[in-house]
Amino acid sequence: MEGESVRAEPTVEKSEPRSGPIPSLREYIKDVRVEMTKVSWPTREELRQHTMVVIVMVVIVAIFTGAVDRALSFAFEALLKLLG
Distances (CA, A) of 37 to 29, 31, 34, 47: 13, 10, 5, 19
- Summarize pLDDT for 39-55 with one digit per residue, the tens: 999 999 999 999 999 99
Tens digits of residue pLDDT in 58-80:
999 999 999 999 999 999 999 99
Domain boundaries, the chain: 42-84
Tell me what the mean pLDDT of segment 24-43 comes to: 93
Element (H, E) at 44: helix 44-83
pLDDT at 65: 98
